[in-house]
Each structure stands twice: as structure tokens, then as C-alpha cells.
Amino acid sequence: MRETKALTSRQREVFEFILKWMRETRLPPTLSEVAQFLGVPYPKSAATHLDALEKKGFIQRSPGKARGILLTPLGESYQMDRLVENIVEIPIVGRIRAGRLTGSEIVPDGTLAVPLSLFSEKPDFVLQIRGDSMNGAGILDGDMAFIRKTREARNGDLIVAHIQGEMTLKQLIVEKRQIILRAANPLYADIRVSPDDEGALVQGKMIGLFRDQRTNGGRNWS
């Protein structure tokens, strides 16, 4: 890409940190947060890199604002180029209940092209959510959940669980010697599972979510 030649490797690291931060939080980082990323004790050290990015036309800054970093058209172009470079096809392996354990099914259903840079780790497959039990966690009917295959999960993770011959997406809660699959909707009761079944229970962990909001004028990643 033509634009990257204008940046030193360190400036590129800082700029890509800014882009990642903005994707994940929907806000620009503060000077202190940039300094923390760089591992330097003083924000003034980070300001040098921001000065360079501004001088080279990648960002603008609003004086007096803690989160005053704005992307310029050049910065937006760089971001789009980076996203396109990292496009991968993730298989959509089916639809999964986020509701009562009835009628869940896993059926092959094509692929979804996504920028790999949106994820901290590569997802293995996509499941389309059916039901309303995870509404309280911001996971709605029709959403696409990106799943990394794993048999291990930590307390609080959102997991794909296999139980009673069905697949479901729930939050994993570990309390003493009990495993609980918890919905994010008070209409749904906890599902309690023996700790001995945890290995067979966990099929994967949710690492990202995509919602098609074209009817509302856009698409949303989280």
C-alpha cells in the first residue's frame, strides 16, 4: 500500500493500535492509553508519535479533548486497505438456539467473508442465533456468532454447549462443584450440569458477533 511507506514501523504500530482501539471501543484512545500501549511512563513520549501521524496526514486531533483523535480520509483509506488484505472466509455451519433446548440444529450454510483483523484469534466457524435467551447480553435473534473450537472455557465465557442432544449458546458459570449454563434473559432458568460432563459439554467459545443492520442503515461488529 502506498500510504504505509510514509510511516516508520513504530508509527505504524501506534496507528494500528489506534484503529484497533476504535474498532473495539467505538472511541479513540487517550494519550495516556497510547503511552500505556507503548510501555512508556510519560504521555509526552506518545505525543511524539501522534504528532508524526498528524503531520503525515493519517489523523487529526481536536485540541483540549482527551479523546480528540480523528481519522483523516488517508487514515480511513489505510484502515480499509488493511481490512481488505485480511479478508478470510469463515464457514457458517448452521443455526443454534439461544433459547429453550428444543429443535436446535447444525446445518452447513455457506461462508461469511470477514476481516481477520477484527478478531484477537481466528474463529473456526459461524453460528446464526435463534431465540431470545441471550438478549440481555446484546445477542439477538438472527445475529452471527463467531466461534473458536475449544473444549476448555473459563468462568463467565460465552460458550457453545452440547447438552441433551442439543446445541445452545449460554454463559458458563462455575459455582463450587457445579457447572451452570446461564441465559441473559430472566424468562429462562439456569441449566445445571455435572462437572464431570464439562469436557463433553463445551464445544466452543464465542469470540465475536456480527449483526446485519442494513434496515437501520449499517452493519455492526462487536
Contact 157, 147 (CB under 8 A): no
Question: Are 125 and 62 in a shared domain?
Answer: no
- The pLDDT tens digits of the residues spanning 41-78 come to 888 889 999 999 999 889 999 988 999 999 998 888 87
Assess whether 52 and 38 both reside in one domain: yes
Domain count, the chain: 2
> Is 102 in the same domain as 151?
yes
Whose cell is 452471527? That residue is 144
If you average pLDDT over residues 6-27, what whole number do you get?
87
C-alpha cell recorded at residue 70: 480523528
CA atoms within 13 A of residue 132's CA, in its CB half-sphere: 3
State the catalytic residue, choosing from 5, 32, 77, 170: 170
- Claim to verify: residue 210 and residue 112 sit in the same structural domain: yes
Q: How confident is the model at residue 98 (pLDDT cuts 50, 70, 90)?
A: low
Residue 34 has a pLDDT of 95
Domain end among 85, 103, 130 = 85
Shared domain for 59 and 101, answered yes or no, is no
pLDDT confidence of residue 5: 40
3-state secondary structure of 40: coil
How does pLDDT run across 157-180, given as a tens digit for each residue?
999 988 877 788 999 998 887 889
Strand, coil or helix: what is 26?
A: coil
Q: Which neighbouring-strand residues pair with 125?
A: 147
Q: Is 205 labeled as catalytic in the residue annotation?
A: no
Calculate what percentage of the chain has a pLDDT beyond 90.
38
pLDDT of 109 over the 70 cut: no
Q: Give dist(CA 84, CA 156) in Å, integer.
A: 33
The reported pLDDT for the residue numbered 217 is 38
* Local structure of residue 67 (DSSP, 8 states): T
The pLDDT value recorded for residue 172 is: 94
For residue 87, is pLDDT > 60?
A: yes
222 as an active site residue: the answer is: no
Kindly write down the DSSP assignment for every residue of 49-61, as one continuous string. Answer: HHHHHHHTTSEEE
CATH number at residue 46: 1.10.10.10
* Cα 198 to Cα 162: distance, rounded to the nearest angstrom: 10
**Residue range of the domain that includes 204:** 88-221
| Statement to judge: residues 142 and 189 lie in one domain | yes
Which candidate in 133, 149, 176, 205 is catalytic?
A: 133
* The pLDDT of residue 101: 43
Mean pLDDT of 29-51: 92
Over residues 72-91, the mean pLDDT reads 79
On whether both 68 and 113 belong to a single domain, the answer is: no
Here the CATH number for the domain that contains residue 179 is 2.10.109.10
